[in-house]
Amino acid sequence: EDQVTQSPEALRLQEGESSSLNCSYTVSGLRGLFWYRQDPGKGPEFLFTLYSAGEEKEKERLKATLTKKESFLHITAPKPEDSATYLCAVQVAGAQKLVFGQGTRLTINP
């Protein structure tokens, strides 16, 4: 069964304290891995798509990396406005739908 596991469930950091969020996946074949940010009461906002192991993408303080078994979302010198739930999802080869992880609730304290 295709599965996506995110860790930790919740993470509290001080402003400026860098860290990483993990997304481990077990799928029959990976078509793409997606990272989204979701604020309370809103729909997910697209961040990155990664397609193959070794690929990296960056946007402001965020950097996503991908291996054959997991993806990391690195956040460098975070600010309070980076507080949100970060969702990881995979698209399995031959399918259209996304399989989501449970998310990581990130809180950045000023």
Partner 1 sequence: GAVVSQHPSRVICKSGTSVKIECRSLDFQATTMFWYRQFPKQSLMLMATSNEGSKATYEQGVEKDKFLINHASLTLSTLTVTSAHPEDSSFYICSAGTGGADTQYFGPGTRLTVL
Applying CB under 8 A, does 83 fall inside the site for partner 1? no
Query: Cβ-count burial of 77 within 10 angstroms (0-12 exposed, 13-18 middle, 19+ buried)?
Result: exposed
Choice between 51 and 53, CB closer to partner 1: 51
Which tokens sit at 101?
Answer: 């992880």
How many angstroms separate the Cα of 40 from the Cα of each of 45, 56, 82, 105, 107? 12, 27, 13, 10, 12
CB of 109 to partner 1, least distance (A): 20
Applying CB under 8 A, does 32 fall inside the site for partner 1? yes
Question: Distance between CA 6 and CA 101 in Å, rounded?
Answer: 6
CB of 30 to partner 1, least distance (A): 10
Applying CB under 8 A, does 14 fall inside the site for partner 1? no
Applying CB under 8 A, does 100 fall inside the site for partner 1? yes
Question: Distance between CA 23 and CA 4 in Å, rounded?
Answer: 7
Applying CB under 8 A, does 57 fall inside the site for partner 1? no
Binding site for partner 1 (CB under 8 A): 31-32, 34, 36, 41-46, 49, 51, 87, 91, 96-98, 100-103
